[in-house]
C-alpha cells in the first residue's frame, strides 16, 4: 500500500470555437493528469481541469518535489499526506495556486485508491445517497452574433439533447440585457427546465440586486458569484439578506476556512467550494459536512468527473454540472458519452474510485511541456 511512483502530465486540447464568459475566454480544454502506483499493485488515477494555464507547473510540482516527499508513504493515510503537503502552499513568494492544485491532484488520486481498495465508487464510499442526479449544462456563452431569441433556441436544443437544465453565463452585459436572455431561455424551455445563473463575479452589488429583481418571475435555482471579488463575502451576504433568490458561492475561496467564513456570515445557500482550488477532496469533504450541519446545499463547478461522485454521495447535493462536448472533450472521452444523458438525468459511473481510467494515447497526443 506504500506509494511507489507518481506520474503527472499537463495536456491541452484545442476547442472548435472560443467560449466567452463575463470576463474570460476559453480556447482550449487544459488539464493535469496523475497516476499514483503503489506496492500492492493498485494505481490511483485522476485529472483536474486547468483554469489558470498553470498545468505544466502544477504537473511538475505534483510529480516532482511533492512526489519525492511521498515515495514510501502509506497511501491510505490521506489526511496525514494532505497535512504533509500543506507547507508547499505557504511559500509567500510562490504562486499559491500551483501548490494548491498540485496538492489537490495528489489528494484526489489518493481518494481514487481508497475507493478501489474498498471496491466501491467514491459516491458509495462517502454516503451513497443516490446513483443519479438531474444534470445541468453550462452554456449561454456570449456571442456577439446572437440575438436574445437565439439563446432560447440554443437552450431548447440542449433540452432536446437530454439535459435537465442550464447554467447560464451572465454578468457580461447589463442586468436588464442578461435578464432578457434568462427570459428567452425560460420561455423556450418551460417551467420544469432548471435554470441557474453564474456571473463569474462580473457585477457590482447594485447591479446584482437589480438583476435579482428583474428575474424574480423566472424561478432560478441560484445566482452564482454575482459580485466583484474585492468585497464579495459581505456583498453576497447583503444580497442574500435582501432578496429571496438563493446565492451560490465559494468557488473562488482557497480554503475550507474561506468557505466557513461565507457560512458564518450567512452569505450563501449553496457552497460550491472548488476541490481543485483548495487542495483536494479532503477539505471539500470537511466543507460538505459543515454545510450539512448548517442546513446548506453543496455544489461543484468545473469538474464534472468529480461531481458525478460528490453530488450523488450526499443528500444535500445539487444537480450535476457538465459542459457541452465541444467545451469539454476530455470528460466525454474518458467518463461519459452524450447518450448517457437521458431525460434530464445522469448516472454516476459504475466502476470503483472515480469510475474512469486515463487514456495514455490521449495524454500523449495532447501533452504539453513546462
Residue-wise pLDDT tens digits, 223-235: 999 999 999 999 9
Question: Beta 247-249 vs 270-271: how paired, if at all?
Answer: parallel
Cell of 32: 493535469
For residue 239, the tally of other CB atoms under 10 A from its CB is 21
Sorting pLDDT into bands at 50, 70 and 90, what band is 246?
very high
Percent of the chain surpassing pLDDT 90: 98
Instruction: Determine the Cα–Cα distance for residues 89 and 206; give it in Å rounded to an integer.
Output: 35
pLDDT for res 370? 61
pLDDT at 42: 98
* Residue percentage of the chain with pLDDT more than 70: 100
Identify each DSSP E strand in the chain by its residue range. 3-20, 25-38, 43-49, 132-139, 165-169, 194-198, 223-224, 247-249, 270-271, 297-298, 320-323, 345-347, 367-368
For residues 310 and 192, what is the distance between their CA atoms, to the nearest angstrom? 24
The pLDDT of residue 369 is above 90: no
Average pLDDT, the chain: 97
195-209 pLDDT, tens digit per residue, is: 999 999 999 999 999
The per-residue b/e assignment along 334-363, b for 16 or more CB within 10 angstroms, e otherwise, is bbbeeeebeebbbbbbeebbbbbebeeebb
Domain ranges of the chain: 3-119+357-368, 123-347
Q: Is the pLDDT of residue 6 over 70?
A: yes
At 141-187, the pLDDT tens digits run: 999 999 999 999 999 999 999 999 999 999 999 999 999 999 999 99
User: What is the average per-residue pLDDT within 34-53?
Assistant: 96
**Residue 134 and residue 194 in contact, taking contact as beta carbons nearer than 8 Å:** yes
Mean pLDDT of 97-109: 98
- Eight-class DSSP state of 368: E
Q: For the domain made up of 123-347, give the CATH fold.
A: TIM Barrel (3.20.20)
Model pTM score: 0.96
Tell me which CATH code domain 3-119+357-368 carries. 3.30.390.10
Amino acid at each position: 500500500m506504500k506509494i511507489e511512483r507518481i506520474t503527472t502530465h499537463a495536456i491541452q486540447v484545442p476547442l472548435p470555437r472560443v467560449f466567452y464568459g463575463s470576463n474570460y475566454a476559453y480556447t482550449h480544454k487544459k488539464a493535469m493528469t496523475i497516476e499514483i502506483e503503489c506496492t500492492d499493485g493498485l494505481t490511483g488515477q485522476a485529472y483536474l481541469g486547468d483554469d489558470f494555464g498553470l498545468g505544466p507547473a502544477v504537473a511538475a510540482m505534483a510529480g516532482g518535489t511533492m512526489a519525492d516527499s511521498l515515495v514510501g508513504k502509506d497511501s491510505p493515510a490521506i489526511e496525514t499526506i494532505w497535512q504533509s503537503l500543506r507547507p508547499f502552499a505557504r511559500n509567500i513568494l510562490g504562486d499559491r495556486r500551483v501548490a494548491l492544485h498540485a496538492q489537490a491532484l495528489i489528494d484526489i488520486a489518493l481518494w481514487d485508491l481508497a475507493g478501489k481498495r474498498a471496491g466501491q465508487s467514491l459516491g458509495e464510499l462517502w454516503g451513497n445517497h443516490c446513483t443519479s442526479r438531474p444534470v445541468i449544462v453550462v452554456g449561454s456563452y456570449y456571442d456577439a452574433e446572437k440575438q436574445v431569441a437565439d439563446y432560447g433556441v440554443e437552450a431548447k436544443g440542449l433540452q432536446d439533447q437530454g439535459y435537465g437544465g442550464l447554467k447560464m453565463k451572465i454578468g457580461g452585459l447589463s442586468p436588464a440585457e442578461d435578464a432578457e436572455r434568462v427570459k428567452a431561455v425560460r420561455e423556450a424551455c418551460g417551467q420544469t427546465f432548471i435554470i441557474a445563473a453564474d456571473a463569474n463575479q462580473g457585477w457590482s452589488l447594485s447591479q446584482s440586486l437589480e438583476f435579482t429583481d428583474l428575474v424574480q418571475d423566472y424561478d432560478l435555482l441560484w445566482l452564482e458569484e454575482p459580485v466583484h471579488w474585492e468585497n464579495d463575502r459581505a456583498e453576497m451576504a447583503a444580497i442574500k439578506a435582501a432578496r429571496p433568490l438563493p446565492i451560490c458561492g465559494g468557488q473562488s475561496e482557497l480554503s475550507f476556512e474561506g468557505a466557513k467564513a461565507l457560512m458564518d456570515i450567512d452569505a450563501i445557500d449553496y457552497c460550491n467550494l472548488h476541490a481543485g482550488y483548495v487542495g483536494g477532496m479532503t477539505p471539500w469533504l470537511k466543507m460538505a459536512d459543515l454545510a450539512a450541519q448548517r442546513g446548506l446545499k453543496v455544489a461543484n463547478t468545473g469538474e464534472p468527473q468529480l461531481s458525478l461522485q460528490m453530488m450523488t454521495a450526499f443528500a444535500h447535493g445539487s444537480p450535476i454540472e457538465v459542459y457541452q462536448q465541444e467545451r469539454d472533450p476530455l470528460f466525454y472521452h474518458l467518463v461519459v458519452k452524450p447518450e448517457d444523458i437521458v431525460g434530464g438525468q445522469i448516472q454516476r459511473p459504475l466502476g470503483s474510485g472515480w469510475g474512469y481510467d486515463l487514456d495514455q494515447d490521449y495524454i500523449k497526443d495532447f501533452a504539453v511541456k513546462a
